[in-house]
Chains A and B, each alone.
Chain A
Amino acid sequence: MKSFRGFVLKEFLHIFRDRRTAAILFGMPMLQLLLFGYAIRNEISEVKLGICDLSHDQATRAITSKLLSSGTFSAKRNLRSPEEIGPAFASGEMNEAVVFEPGFAARLQRDGFCDLQVITDGSDPNVSRIITGYTASVIQDYLGEQYAPFSAPGVVPVPVMLFNPALRSVYLFVPGLMALILMLVSALMTSISITREKEIGTMEVLLVSSLRPTEIILGKVAPYMLLAFINVLTVLALAFMVFGVPCRGSLPLLILESLLFILTALSLGIFISTITASQQAAMMISLGGLLLPTILLSGFIFPVASMPLPLQVFSNIIPAKWYLIIVRAIMLKGADFSYLWQETLVLVLMTVLLMAASIRKFSERLQ
């Protein structure tokens, strides 16, 4: 027991001795959250709009003023002919153009419909899709005001966005970010710290010491577990205080599930260190093999459902995918454990498997 305590103490000394590493470990989560929260967002706040009005009647003027008064669009300039649209997009002067056909209001009165062309910059598909949606809803609004009482019977969809009515992207990023940070701190740092012992030859001495292999593994796990846990609390507090991201479900459940995910990531880190001999190899595997899939394939940024089938199948072995489902459900939907036991079970199984494999490989002797 005395030797185990000494070992854990040494691990803490390593972490705090190097001020830069310590600063990164504690500062990185905050920095990432602020970056994701402020800089990287899906909401479009200013659409530079060009109007090409070939009709100049009361209907086109009303639609134009409605667009511009919504706050999202700002008028760049009036285009005299559709030919001016191409160059204006190429120069980046505008990212949306609306073209009213000649005789717009007259045709609307006479035929009951008319054409309005919405042109967007397809080189940025996400932005295009969103602003097209904005424009369509403004026009729908206008038509509703003007013609609703007289219009033919029809079906009007009334969308309600549950859990995140304002569709704020920070709600999406916080759970993903937690998964990312925990992966980074737990898996990367443990795998590096164990392979470092191998590199500098101290692992051989630790093996011949009175420490048992499980004590060595636990001694490596404990400090990073605590560190990762502090990071979870920091991110949650910051997300709530700065961005107002709520935790609608049970906070203790969220914390317990996070601890489970930390354990999964730690056992992954240990497993990596048992199959590599150098810090560099451990880092490459952790970064390439864990971080990228965590960002790209877990559903953090790109929805799993829209991936091709092989990637969807592959995403199942990424722990972050299951953690993300759990965190989103608890934080945003207020789900309780009865809805999440399957995802939790997957994480438990992964952890047990990885731990067992690591302890098997991490023998009392050298290979």
Chain B
Amino acid sequence: MIAPSAVRIAEVGKSFGAVKALGRVDLDIPQGELFGCIGADGAGKTTLFRIICTLLLPDRGRAEVLGFDSVSDFREIRRRLGYMPGRFSLYQDLSVEENLRFFAAVFGTTVGENYDLIKDIYTQLEPFRERRAGKLSGGMKQKLALCCALVHRPELLVLDEPTTGVDAVSRREFWQMLKRLKAEGITILVSTPYMDEAVLCDRIAFLQKGSVLGVDTPCGITGLFTRPLYAVRARQKYRLITALRRYPHAASAYAFGGSVHYSDKRPAADLRDLLAWLDASGLEDAGITQIEPGIEDAFMALMELQGETGTEGADG
């Protein structure tokens, strides 16, 4: 059974003057999905979200949101949409309650009407009802912002980097809330720079220089990484990376935390040969273990692939 699409984007492109923000994007997000967008700053995530939110007109292509055309039926979409922009920071000088009431009012509803939807989140904010939004902690601010985006019970929730600059505990709580909202049947489109959050989505799209590199489930994305992957450790990390990149059979070598993730061009790497190469490069303490590729490795591999095929694109 295939759920009807919440968002369907076909060949959408957008440029700002000479800067191409989106090349040619196709996306299909079924209803009820928790869909993630990852990509570096300037990859085009915000532009894509703004087109979906009917705030920007695409130069070409077509975006259909909740069954409505994003250009001609934008009012219908706006009525059913909850949107949290990237820089969204509420009204700092208004209290928690005033902020929430205001957003309820401008979306033509009241806090009471949809209280059951935000109850879980709002009860955590309740003790600070009278406090000004500017005096809340980063995590609390995000929760309030989420409440404000949800107060009119949207069918589609679009969150542009909602957890950027929020501490790890609050981030985890925030994602638990998203899971609960998904259970309520709300389609959620979220962008994040954090790979550990991307794994929590049903499906993810990788954006790079205005193009979608791939769309898949977190498992599927990791599955794109077919070569064996190794974690190489040595005390002199910088030297290790340069040595690995100089190695004739190297496909990629990137620093990941304490080790360097290395993949080999050959179907099976000759580890003894590699160790000898490292030894000759003055890295006698090098150790190699084979590992399962993670989502970040897949992302790196996809970016690499993109670089090789030389698809056009620009920062935006």
Contact = CB atoms under 8 A, between A and B. Distances in A.
A173 B83 CA distance: 50
Nearest to B101: A6
Contacts of A209: 78, 103, 106-107
Q: Which 5 A-B pairs have the closest CB atoms?
A: A6-B105, A201-B87, A201-B88, A209-B106, A201-B85
Contacts of B89: 200-202
A9 B91 CA distance: 13
A209 B103 CA distance: 8
A365 B63 CA distance: 15
A6 B91 contact: no
12 contacts: A6-B105, A10-B102, A14-B91, A200-B87, A202-B90, A202-B91, A204-B53, A210-B106, A210-B108, A211-B106, A365-B55, A365-B56
A206 interface: yes
Nearest to A366: B55
A5 B104 CA distance: 12
B55, B74, B101, most chain A CB atoms within 10 A:
B55
Interface in A1-55: 2-3, 5-7, 9-10, 13-14, 17-18
A205 B78 contact: no
A207 interface: yes
Nearest to A198: B87
Interface in B71-115: 74, 78-79, 81, 83-94, 98, 101-108
Nearest to B148: A205
Contacts of B88: 200-202, 204-205
Nearest to B99: A10
Interface of B: 50, 53-57, 74, 78-79, 81, 83-94, 98, 101-108, 148-149
Contacts of B92: 200
A168 to B, nearest CB: 43
A3 B108 contact: yes
Given A6-B101, A10-B102, A14-B93, A365 B108 contact: no
B148 to A, nearest CB: 8
Contact of A208 (B53, B57, B98, B102): B53
A86 to B, nearest CB: 61
Nearest to A207: B55
Interface string A76-94: 0000000000000000000
A263 B224 CA distance: 62
B50, B83, B84, B91, most chain A CB atoms within 10 A:
B91
A6 B102 contact: yes
B57 A7 contact: no
Contacts of A202: 88-91
Contacts of B91: 10, 14, 200, 202
A365 B54 contact: yes
Nearest to B82: A208
A205 B50 CA distance: 11
A208 B55 contact: yes
A350 B79 CA distance: 36
Interface of A is mostly: helix
B74 A364 contact: yes
Given A7-B106, A17-B94, A200-B91, 16 more contacts: A3-B105, A5-B105, A13-B98, A199-B87, A200-B90, A200-B92, A205-B85, A205-B148, A208-B81, A209-B107, A210-B106, A211-B106, A364-B74, A365-B54, A365-B55, A366-B50
B14 to A, nearest CB: 11
Contacts of B78: 208-210
Interface in A191-246: 199-202, 204-211
Nearest to B57: A365
Contacts of A205: 83-85, 88, 103, 148-149
A303 to B, nearest CB: 43
B22 to A, nearest CB: 14
A100 B50 CA distance: 84
A204 B46 CA distance: 12
B94 A366 contact: no
A14 B107 CA distance: 19
A97 B156 CA distance: 85
B83 A208 contact: yes
B82 to A, nearest CB: 9
Contacts of B86: 201
A194 to B, nearest CB: 14
B106 A6 contact: yes
B31 to A, nearest CB: 19
Contacts of A13: 93-94, 98
A231 B81 CA distance: 41
A210 B102 CA distance: 12
A240 to B, nearest CB: 36
A155 B74 CA distance: 81
A7 B105 contact: yes
Contacts of A10: 91, 94, 98, 102
B79 A210 contact: yes
Contacts of A364: 74
Nearest to B74: A364
Given A10-B98, A13-B94, A210-B78, A204 B106 contact: no
Nearest to B78: A208
A208 B107 CA distance: 9
A326 to B, nearest CB: 37
B157 to A, nearest CB: 12
Nearest to B81: A208
A208 B85 CA distance: 11
A3 to B, nearest CB: 5
Contacts of B94: 10, 13-14, 17
Interface string A141-171: 0000000000000000000000000000000
Contacts of A199: 87
A344 B94 CA distance: 39
Contacts of B98: 10, 13
